[in-house]
Amino acid sequence: MQMGLVGLGKMGGSMRTRLKDAGIDVVGYDPRPEVTDVASLEDLTTALGAPRIVWVMVPSGEPTRSTVRTLSESLSPGDLVIDGGNSKYTDDAINAELLSAKGISYIDCGVSGGVWGLENGYGLMCGGAKNDVASAMPIFDALRPPGERADGFVHAGQVGAGHYAKMVHNGIEYGLMHAYGEGYEILEAEPLVEDVTGTLRAWTNGTVVRSWLLELLVKALQEDPGLAEISDYTTDSGEGRWTVEEAIRHSVPANVISAALFARFASRQESGSPALKAVSALRNQFGGHSVVPKSASVD
């Protein structure tokens, strides 16, 4: 099987490796000449045999929209575009309509796994027509974790459903990370607890709060005891905001997710929160998101 992959950054580059390891012929395009296989999007489509499948893995918003527009001019009827970035689900109907007018199919796919996906596989949430999803299933099977398909892949519904599911997934992630961060701060504040990192590590096996995120927090603390090298300044990439907006639209009381989002806002106005340091460290551990060093000043 052959496919095109647009965007060879932290996740896209690892996805290319995982796909190739599974025997899929991947032609990649990236603006950086040191990693790209072809010189342009047009060259990418020329290099692929029909019917083409092109996976887009670029930043959400205008970078993705402009990529889809360019592909709509160079692809042919019967081809398929998959947006695997963190696009807002409302963009999917626009992309699908643009491509449909040219006879090109569209799937939106939420992807979770961060920088660890190469080794562990990626959790996938797709939206689109059944026949389109079926045609791309060898790609999804190559990317997802090993084991039963339903434990790492879902065809969530029509176009937009995949990114909607990923948006809510990331909203939940905000709440989970902040709960771990608050627990870490409470443990740090109590003199009776002399081994905070060891306590958190003891929770990673057998307890009801064990999780991969907790394991990553322990890893971050082992690498940087007390998280002394980073500030508590914590950014957000949009999905938490969108989840809160949807909670308001559906009148769902999303108290935890909202509070976690607002805490990130507060981190940019105040300094010295161990809980927010933990959240920032977790984002770096699972997604490779940048952290602000403690010595750096932020305008």
Residues with a known catalytic role: 166, 173
The DSSP output letter for 110 is: E
Q: If DSSP codes are grouped into helix, strand and coil, which group holds residue 265? A: helix
Other Cβ atoms less than 10 A from the Cβ of 57: the count is 26
What 3-state class would DSSP assign to 85? coil
CB 200 within 8 A of CB 176: no
Paired residues of 126 in beta bridges: 109, 155
DSSP state at residue 26: E
Residue 178 Cα distances to 62, 72, 205, 216, angstroms: 30, 41, 20, 13
Residue 24's nearest CA partner among 56, 8, 48 is 48
| Helix (H/G/I), strand (E/B), else coil: 200 | helix
Distance between first and last Cα of the chain: 48
Cross-strand bridge partners of residue 109: 126
Q: For residues 197 and 195, give the distance between their C-alpha atoms in angstroms, rounded to a whole number.
A: 6
What is the rounded CA–CA span in Å between residue 230 and residue 30? 31
DSSP 112-129: E-GGGHHHH--EEEEES-
In angstroms, the CA 135 to CA 72 distance is 19
